[in-house]
Chains A and B, each alone.
Chain A
Amino acid sequence: MTRETLLTFAIRFGFLILLFCMVIYFSLSANGFASPRSAAFILQSVAITGILALGVTCTLVVDGFDLSIGSVATSALMLSAYAMVILEMSAVTAVLLCLLMGAIVGLINGLLIVKFKVPDLLATLGMMFLLIGLQRIPTQGNSIATGMKLPDGSAAEGAFSAAFLWLGRHRFDLFVEKLVPVPVVIFLITAVVIWVFLELTRHGRLMYAIGSNERAAALVGTNVNRYKIAAYMISGVTASIGGILLAARLGRGDIASGNNLLLDSVAAALIGFAVLGAARANAFGTAIGALFVGILLQGLTMMNAPYYTQDFVKGAVLVLALVFTFYLSAKRSAGGKT
């Protein structure tokens, strides 16, 4: 094999091979790693960040960025709790309300960026702050749970409905009884939908064109603004799905949860750049990126690595992936399939 083809091979499959070796290593050295339960656990641990990461992937595709996803998710968490516990709404209404909130936040992000020309990082950073603050106002900064004291002195009567909690806690049977949690199924469905959208539809192709050369895309008659807004709306909706699932798992409107969502999901999307040598945001890579982190952390935990090393490990993986993407791919000549 020549140097050239070796390099191409390394860029294409390097990350997947690394993932594979890691699985083998943990299976051999950590007792119980190679079991359905452990696999389901890993998937569950990455499902919510994965869903958020798939949304941020869409904004990365149009050469944008969405920093508000973490706070959209926690806002959805608080909103669903508020809707059910305090306003005593049904599970369906609460879910719809959250999805609508995500879409509206995405729309505002998009409008700030394309109409008011605010740079993407700054617009979504502003939105992040705004939402972090906003979600605390209705409850004066308190978490929401059944029986909590309301400002007028009475107690909150509502409760998380069983149907809502099902979203976070139910497990489907697969080989083993009660194995696959609902969030994992939703993560996999979202991954497939986003992948089909980005890779197979003409809208996805145009979004990649916008990300690669916005001006050229506009000059062939693409409505660039509309696609950019759509990308932020997708990101907002997926983030609110993540928040709903988190709420359903916790069963209360916990003000402090979801702190790590933003960084973890952005990391997954960026690690995804390195998968298959894509050197750009892509849905498959994002899903693999999320899994990669999940497997690594699970394996290390089972080998008794202390919990406080987790962020360090994630950071190291991210830096490695970025070197993969930007250094190695830059060495290869330009262009490629699609």
Chain B
Amino acid sequence: MKTCEIIGLKKSFGGNHVLRGIDMHLSAGEVVVLMGANGAGKSTLVKVLCGFHGHDAGTMHLDGVAYLPTDAANAISHGVVTVHQSIDDGVIPDLDVATNLMLNRLTEPGAGVLVRDGALRRAAQKVADNMGLTMDVRTKVADLSVADRQMIAIARAMAYEPKVLILDEPTSSLSASEADRLFSLVDRLRGQGVAILYISHRMSDIRRIADRIVCMRDGEISGMFEQSPLDYDGAVTAMLGHSMTDVDIGVQDGGQPILEIDTLALSRGSAPVSFSARDGEIIAITGLLGSGKSELAEIIFGLQRPKAGQMRIAGRAYAPQNAAQAVAAGVFMSFKDRSTNAVIPDFDIANNMTLPFLRLFSRATVLKGRSQRQAAQDMIRRLGIVCQSDDDGIGTLSGGNQQKVMIGRWLLKGCRVLLLDEPFQGVDIGARRDIGAHIRETAKGRATLVFVAELDEALEIADRIIVLNEGTIAGQHQNRNVDMEALIAQVSGTSGAQPRVNA
């Protein structure tokens, strides 16, 4: 029986089509896993379902009745309840478990002015027992573990007796044993006949919990898998896509090694990582969430210390303590999530772009505005940034152009190692090609490491692809006639324990 049915759902923000016609359904007592890389439109779909955004076209039905939530509270009263990714949005840490569980009762119209603690606690205890929660309901939520807090957020969601429960990456901050507890809770809810939409791209979660897999890519459903046993590799392919693109790159083997990574341990207990990046070579580091990509990037840029192992640049030991030391050693990094990590919203294009190298554009600390603007104009031309002039506010640019400014920032000056973390995030295909082409053109004289989740992007830009899984190298491929099956198996971790090298 279809609890929730979505037909032809569309949503755009300005000219940005985020959902391009989604058709899917959720059934009672079934866990549907929704997979998709960053920017695929998962979160937007969730936000439409839980009433946070309206939609532009298409219909939604709940138990056969048209469903048009006006806001989040309205969605909840229809029986569509969402537990969001960031746990602390779901609980109030300074209050005790009982109050947290019963919070919705307190907001109901007709609730008394005075809180009757005893009655509240008894009711909370009942909810807790139902959910298999064992902690004392008088404990303060702030004193609980992350997993317990997550359970409480879900338990509270259950107090609304939902028909549809949406869990947005619920295990992203949980350990393996904590995740196990979450899964048994999800099993229990499935048993009670709740339709569950579970958003994740962690393969271990998906194997454990999924009855059905729906993959999203670029705002469309790119794959549905319901035959048991589920085709997990097929799902990863549908999520990441590898329709060979028409970008033609002349793969370089590179010159002298510049950056050498020597038996580096990315996290405690993970097998050591070793490779060297050569002059003129572009290496794509790929892997799913939690594969160790971010750790590797942050260690090279000095934001984290490696648990073991060392790094060398041009033969000399390199152990940066912070970003400033990394930049001084000629290691530049463009971060993902540009709005939090890179963009200075108050500044114009020229000042955003020249920010790391203001010293170059000043004499005796006084800024030389003209040379700053000249450098910016030059980079605007080279990268094809669409803008009126270099003193446009950064906020007036489209996402792709903002990203070009952020990447251009690090191309103003030559460097030894360039790290690009998700350089194509939230960027349209045209801008992606421009950025990729420019990075390839300028690659001589440095080693370039590009951290991407999407395989398409890796194939488009890299000379060599290194796959990380569980904090270690699962495979390496020279970017010539790459064995896609092996690559995808390495990404999803189904290739067996032995890392395969295909060079």
A200 within 8 A of B: yes
A338 touches B358 (CB 8 A): no
Q: Which of B209-217, B246-254, B393-401 contacts A (4 or more CB under 8 A)?
A: B393-401
Q: Is the CB of A212 within 8 A of B347?
A: yes
- Taking CB atoms and an 8 Å cut-off, the chain A residues in 178-197 that contact chain B are 196
Residue interface mask B341-359, A partner, CB < 8 A = 1: 1111111100100011011
Please state if B323 and A219 are interface contacts (CB–CB under 8 Å): yes
| B361 pairs with A209, CB closer than 8 A | no
Residues of B within 8 A of A26 (CB): none
Docked CA distance A200–B363 (Å) = 11
Closest B residue by C-beta to A203: B365
* Contact among A209, A211, A220, A335 for B393, CB-based, below 8 A: A335
Known contacts A201-B365, A201-B367, A202-B358; A336 and B341 CB within 8 A of each other: no
Q: Within 8 Å CB of B143, what residues of A? A: none
On whether the beta carbons of A205 and B358 are closer than 8 Å, the reply is yes
Contact of A336 among B340, B348, B366 (CB under 8 A): B348
Residues of A within 8 A of B333 (CB): 219
* B328 CB–A CB distance under 8 Å: yes
The answer to whether A338 and B361 touch across the interface, beta carbons within 8 angstroms, is: no
Per-residue contact bits, chain A 251-293, to B (CB 8 Å; 1 contact, 0 not): 0000000000000000000000000000010000000000000
Residues on the B chain within 8 Å of A219, using CB: 323, 333, 335, 341-342
The answer to whether the Cβ of A155 comes within 8 Å of any Cβ in the partner chain is: no
B394 near A335 with CB under 8 A, answer yes
**The residue from B323, B358, B395, B409 contacting A333, defined by CB atoms under 8 A apart:** B395
Contact at B356–A334, with CB atoms within 8 Å?
no
For B346, the closest partner residue in chain A by CB is A212
Those of B305-337 within 8 Å (CB) of chain A:
322-324, 326-328, 333, 335
Asked if residues B324 and A334 are in contact (CB atoms below 8 Å), the reply is no
Whether a CB of chain B sits under 8 angstroms from the CB of A309 is no
A221 close to chain B: CB less than 8 A? yes
Q: Which of A206, A218, A336 touches B358 (beta carbons < 8 Å)?
A: A206
Q: Are B347 and A218 in contact (CB under 8 A)?
A: no
CA distance A216 to B328 in the complex (A): 17
Residues of B within 8 A of A223 (CB): 324
Interface-central residue, A203, A205, A220, by most chain B CB under 10 Å? A220
Whether the Cβ atoms of B356 and A220 lie closer than 8 Å is: yes
Give the size of the chain A interface in residues (CB under 8 angstroms): 28
Per-residue contact bits, chain A 129-170, to B (CB 8 Å; 1 contact, 0 not): 000000000000000000000000000000000000000000
8 Å CB contacts to A: which residues of B247-285? none
* Cβ-defined contact, A212 with B328, below 8 A: no
Measured CB to CB, the nearest residue on chain A to B351 is A338
A334 to chain B: which residues have CB within 8 Å?
345, 393, 395-396
Question: Which of A200, A209, A217, A280 contacts B367, CB < 8 Å?
Answer: A200
User: Which B residues touch A221, using CB under 8 A?
Assistant: 322-324, 326-328, 356
Q: Is A222 an interface residue (CB 8 A)?
A: yes
- Who on chain A is nearest to B394 by CB? A335
How many angstroms from the CA of A333 to the CA of B393 in the assembled complex? 9
A337 to B343, CA, bound (A): 15
> Is A15 at the interface (CB under 8 A from chain B)?
no
Bound form: Cα–Cα A236–B438 in Å: 48
Other-chain contact of B344, A196, A203, A217, A337 (Cβ < 8 Å):
A217
Give every chain A residue within 8 A of B485 (Cβ-Cβ).
none
Please tell me if the beta carbons of A222 and B343 are within 8 angstroms of each other in the complex: no
Q: Give Cα A196 to B367, complex, Å.
A: 10
Report B303 CB to chain A, min CB distance, Å. Answer: 8
Given contacts A216-B341, A216-B343, A202 and B362 within 8 Å (CB-CB): yes
Q: A203-B365, A333-B396, A338-B351 are in contact. Are A222 and B324 (CB under 8 A)?
A: yes
Of listed A200, A334, A336, residue having the most chain B CB within 10 A: A336
A215–B391 CB distance below 8 A: no
Most chain-A Cβ atoms within 10 A of its Cβ — which of B341, B355, B362, B392?
A: B355
Q: Which residues on B sit within 8 Å (CB–CB) of A324? A: none
With A221-B324, A338-B347 as known contacts, state yes or no: A202 contacts B365, CB within 8 Å: yes
Additional pairs, 13, CB under 8 Å, beyond known A201-B365, A334-B393: A201-B366, A205-B358, A206-B355, A208-B344, A208-B346, A209-B344, A216-B344, A220-B323, A221-B324, A334-B395, A335-B392, A336-B393, A337-B348
Write 11 A-B pairs (CB below 8 A) sorted by A numbering.
A201-B362, A201-B365, A201-B366, A205-B355, A205-B358, A216-B340, A220-B355, A280-B346, A333-B393, A338-B346, A338-B348
Enumerate chain B interface residues (CB-CB to A < 8 A): 322-324, 326-328, 333, 335, 340-348, 351, 355-356, 358-359, 361-362, 365-367, 391-396, 409
Query: Considering the complex of A and B, which 9 residue pairs feature the smallest CB-CB distances, nearest first?
Result: A335-B393, A334-B395, A221-B327, A202-B358, A220-B356, A212-B346, A335-B395, A221-B324, A202-B362
